[in-house]
Amino acid sequence: MKTALLGALLWLVVAPILGGLLAGADRILSARLQGRVGPPLLQPFYDVLKLWDKRGGVVNRFQNFYMLAFFAFVLVSGALFFAGGDLLLVIFALTVAGVMLALGAWSTNSPYSHVGAERELLQMMAYEPMFLLMAVGMYLVGRSFHVGVLARAEVPLVLALPGVFLGFLFVLTIKLRKSPFDLSASHHAHQEIVRGITTEYSGRGLALFEVAHWYENVLLLGFVWLFFSFNPALGIVAALVVYFLEVFVDNAYARLTWRTTVRATWAAAALLGVSNLILFQYFAR
Amino acid sequence: MSRRTIIPFGPQHPVLPEPIHLDLVMEDEKVVEAIPSIGFIHRGLEKMAEKKDFQEMAYIAERICGICSFIHSMGYCQAIEAVLRLEIPRRAEFLRVIWGEMSRIHSHLLWLGLTADAFGFESLFMHTWRLREKLLDLIEETSGGRVIFGVCKVGGVRRDVDAEALDRLLAALADLEADCREIAAVFARDASVQRRLSGIGVLPKEEALRLGAVGPTLRGSGVPSDSRRLGYAAYDALDWAPVTEEAGDCRARCLVRMREIAQSFDLIRQAVAKIPEGPVSAKVVGAPRGEYFARLEQPRGEVVYYVKGNGTKHLERFRVRTPTFANLPPLLKILQGCELPDVPIIVLTIDPCISCAER
Amino acid sequence: MMIETQPLEPLDRAALPARVAALAKEGWRLVQICCSCRDAYEVTYSFDREGRFLNLRIGFSKEDPALPSITESYFGAFAYENEMQDLFGLRLDGLKLNFHGNFYRLAKKNPFLDPPAAGSPGASPAASPSAPSAEGAPRAAPDPRPT
C-alpha cells in the first residue's frame, strides 16, 4: 500500500519534469536531424510558463473544463499505473481522457476543431485494439492485470510477447502524436486543420494540454518499461531508445491520412498482436 | 452523415501563407466544392504603368512576384523590346537565360520544400530549403540580388558576368545538382510520400487544356506545352525538350518540377558553353508605339505580358497574366471530391503564387 | 531576337460566343482575356494551340459596357471575366461563376476605368498629347452588377 502511494506521488511530481525534459530532448534531436541547432533543452518549460501567463481566450465555458477533465484523467490513469493498479483500468482511464479531449474540441464551433476531434476518435479506434491486446497478452503471461504483479513477473514480458511489443510500438506513434500518424494535432500548425484539436485553445488551457501530453508520454514509456520489467535498468534504457526511435520515425515520414492509419494499425494489431497471442497460447500449454 | 459543413482555408493559413481564401464545402472529410476568393491585396500595378516611365516599370514588374521575380522583369523587357523593335545583344539574351533558369531552380526548390511541409515531412522541407539557400548565394554572386535580382532592363541586362565567375558558377552548380538528385529520389520513391501524392488530384489532359492550365500543371497532365519553345531569348540556341508526365496527379506535377530542376542545370551549362562575347545592353531610343503579347515560361507556367504604347513614355495599357491566375480554374476542378488532408497538397501542386496573381 | 506573329482578328460582340465555341472545339487553349478602356472598350481574347497564337478583338463604346460570357465554352474564363467586371465595370451576360463585383476587394469601384487624371504625378502634359477629350465628361455609369 505504501509503495503504491509512493509510486503515485512520484508520478505526479516527477513525470511532468521528465516529460518536459523528454520534449526538450525531442526538439533538439529533431532539429539536429533536420540540420538545425534547435531550442534549449528547457524550452518546453519556458513555453508552458509563457502560455500560463497569457490571457486565455475561451470560446465557451465548457472548453477549459473538458481540458481540465482530460488532464485529470491522464493523471488518474498514470497514478493507477505507477501505484501498481489494474492495467485495464489504466487503459480505460486513458481512453476517457482522450474522449474528454475530443469533447473539448467538439464543444467549440470551429470546423478545424471538429475535424480534429473526429480524427482523434478515429485514432483512438485505431490504437485501442492494440492496447487491449497488450493488456490481454500481459495477462496471459503474468496471470494478472495488476501492474504491480506484472512488474514482478518472472518471465520477461518482452520475450514472451515480441509481436505485441512491436505492435504496441506501432500504435505508440499515434499516442505520441508523431508523423506519420499525427493526424488530429501535429506538433506544429502546418497542417490542413491547424493543429485541429487544440486550434481553439490558448493560454492556460493550452498549457494544460502540453503538460498533460508530457504526463501521457511518460505513462506510455511506462508501458514500454513494463515489457522489460525483469530488469528495471534495462527497462529505462529501452523506454528511452523507443522514444528516440519515435523521434527518428517522426522525421523520416510524411503525414498519412486517417484511412491509411486505421488500416495500418489494425493490420499491425492483427498480424503482430493476435498471432503472437495465438502462438503463445499454443506453446505455453 | 451527409451534413455539409464549410471549412475555411486561408487567407491566413499556416500551410499556405498566401492571400487566397477557399470555402471548402465538406461532407465529412470529403470536399464537395471549393469556392475561391482572392483580391485581398490587389495592387493595381497594371494601372501604375500608365503613370511611370516605361523603362522604370521594368523594376516594378520584377516586384510583381517575390519568387519568380527575374522572369517577370524579363517578360516586361521582352514585350517592350518587341514593340520598340529593339535588337538586344546576344550575350544579354544568354545571361537572361542563365538567370532565368537559376530562378526556376530556386523557385522549384522552394516549392518542393513547401510541399514537403504540407504533407508533414519536416526534415525534407528543411533539407530542400538548405539547398535553395546555396542557390540564392550563387544568384547573389552573379547578379547582386538574392530574390529581386534587379539586373534586367529594357535593352539588355545591367551587369555582365565574367568568364571566371561563370566557371565558378558551373562548379558550384555541379555540387548542387548532385544534392538535388538526392532529394529527387526521396520525392520520387519514398513510400509515405508516394502515398500522399500518387493518384491525388488527378487532372485529365483534356480538362487541363479546356480549363486553361499552364506550366507544370499542364505538363503534368501530359501536354508538352512550354513557352520556352517559342525560342525567345537564347532558348532557340539550346538543345532541350519540354518535360511531361502522363498521370496528371500530384506526383506527376511534382516529378515534372523535379525533372525541370535537372533540365535547368543542363540549360545553364549549355548557355555558359555557348555564350558569346560582346556588350550586354543596347541603347534605347524612342518610346514604344504599338502592342505586343510577350509569352514566357515561368517556374509556375506561361506568363503573358501585354504592352500597348502610344509613342509616349507612358504605356497606354500594361497587362500581366500570371500563371497562377490561369491555374486557379483547374485547381477548383481538382479540389472537387478530394479529401481534406489532400487539400493543402493539391493547392500547392499548382504552385500558387497568389500575390503574383494580384498584380 | 524573336518576335512572334500575333494575328489579330477583329470580331463583333454578338459573334463572340459562336467563334469561341468553334475554337474550343478545335482544341485551342484560352491564354488570357485583356480588357482596356480609353475612349472605348477593347477586349482581346488570346488563344494558343501548340505554340500558335491567335487573338480575337472586340471593341465597343463606353455607353454599353456589356459582353457575352464565354464560360460556356471555357469555364476557366470566369477569372478573367470577373476581373473585367470588377476593374472595368463591364457586365458579363451568362457568367457561370459570378462574384458580383466581389472577386477583388477594391477601395474604389472600377478603378481601371478612368484614365490617369491630368496633372497627376508622372502624367506630364507633354507625355499625353492625345489625351481623350471626352475624359472629363461625366460617364454614363450603368449598374455593372447584375444580380
Residue A230 pLDDT = 82
Inter-chain touch B121–A253, beta carbons under 8 Å: yes
Torsion sign over Cα C25, C26, C27, C31: negative
Domain of C97 in residue numbering reads as: 8-107
Structural domain includes residue C81: yes
Query: Pick from C83, C88, C96, C76: which is nearest to C31 by CA?
Result: C76
Structural domain includes residue C92: yes
pLDDT band at residue A249 under the 50/70/90 scheme: confident
Which cell numbers in the block locate residue A102? Answer: 475530443
Q: Which one is predicted more confidently, B120 or C82? A: C82
Residue % of chain B over a pLDDT of 90:
6
**How far apart are the C-alpha atoms of B261 and B257, rounded to whole Å?**
6
- Mutation to test the C interface, candidates B77, B289, B291, most C Cβ within 10 Å: B291
Chain B residues contacting A via beta carbons under 8 Å: 5-9, 13-15, 26, 28-29, 116-124, 126-127, 130, 190, 192-193, 195-196, 339-344
Residue % of chain A over a pLDDT of 90:
15
Residue C123 pLDDT = 37
Query: Pick from B193, B197, B189, B184: which is nearest to B258 by CA?
Result: B184
At residue C126, does pLDDT exceed 60?
no
pLDDT tens sequence across C3-30: 777 888 888 888 888 888 888 888 888 8
Inter-chain touch B211–C127, beta carbons under 8 Å: no
Question: Average pLDDT, stretch B122-144?
Answer: 88
A near C: at least 3 beta-carbon pairs less than 8 Å apart:
no
pLDDT tens sequence across A221-246: 998 988 888 888 888 899 999 998 98
- Least confident span in A46-50, B303-307, C110-114: C110-114
Residue A184 pLDDT = 67
Q: Is the Cβ of C6 closer than 8 Å to some Cβ of chain B?
A: yes
CATH (domain of C24): 3.30.460.80
What is the 3 state secondary structure string of B37-96? ECCCCCCCHHHHCCCCCCCCHHHHHHCCCCCCHHHHHHHHHHHHHHHHCCCCCHHHHHHH
The CA dihedral of A218, A220, A221, A222, to the nearest 10 degrees, is: 90
Measured between beta carbons, the chain B residues lying within 8 angstroms of C111 are 44, 47
Place of cell 487544440: A198
Torsion sign over Cα B199, B202, B206, B209: negative
Q: Do residues A240 and A46 lie in contact, with contact meaning Cβ atoms separated by under 8 Å? A: no
Structural domain includes residue C127: no
Structural domain includes residue C129: no
At residue B320, does pLDDT exceed 70?
yes
> What are the residue boundaries of the structural domains of chain A, listed by start?
2-284
B232: closest chain C residue by CA: C2
Residue C145 pLDDT = 41
At residue C70, does pLDDT exceed 80?
yes
Structural domain includes residue C101: yes
pLDDT tens sequence across A179-195: 777 776 666 666 666 77
Residue C115 pLDDT = 57
The listed CATH number (3.65.10.10, 3.40.190.290, 1.10.645.10, 1.10.10.60) that belongs to domain B40-334: 1.10.645.10
Residues in chain A, how many? Answer: 285
Inter-chain touch C38–B232, beta carbons under 8 Å: no
At residue C125, does pLDDT exceed 70?
no
Which cell numbers in the block locate residue A232? Answer: 528495471
Q: Do residues B147 and B64 lie in contact, with contact meaning Cβ atoms separated by under 8 Å? A: no
The CA dihedral of A232, A233, A236, A239, to the nearest 10 degrees, is: -80
Please give the mean pLDDT across all residues of chain B: 85
At residue C130, does pLDDT exceed 60?
no
Q: Is the Cβ of C54 closer than 8 Å to some Cβ of chain B?
A: no
Measured between beta carbons, the chain B residues lying within 8 angstroms of C75 are 210-211, 329
Chains A, B: CB contacts under 8 A, how many? 85
Residue A190 pLDDT = 67
Structural domain includes residue C118: no
pLDDT tens sequence across B43-83: 878 888 888 888 888 888 888 888 888 888 998 898 888 88
Residue A61 pLDDT = 77
CB neighbour list of residue B275: distance below 8 Å, 6 or more residues apart: B91, B94, B95, B98, B166
Q: Do residues B80 and B287 lie in contact, with contact meaning Cβ atoms separated by under 8 Å? A: no
Question: Average pLDDT, stretch C97-124?
Answer: 65
pLDDT tens sequence across B174-207: 889 988 888 888 888 888 888 888 888 888 888 8
CA distance C69 to chain B (A): 15
**How far apart are the C-alpha atoms of B223 and B204, rounded to whole Å?**
10
C20: closest chain B residue by CA: B210
Q: How many domains does chain C have?
A: 1
Residue C1 pLDDT = 62
ipTM for the complex shown: 0.81
At residue B287, does pLDDT exceed 50?
yes
pLDDT tens sequence across A67-109: 889 999 999 999 988 888 888 899 999 999 989 888 888 888 8
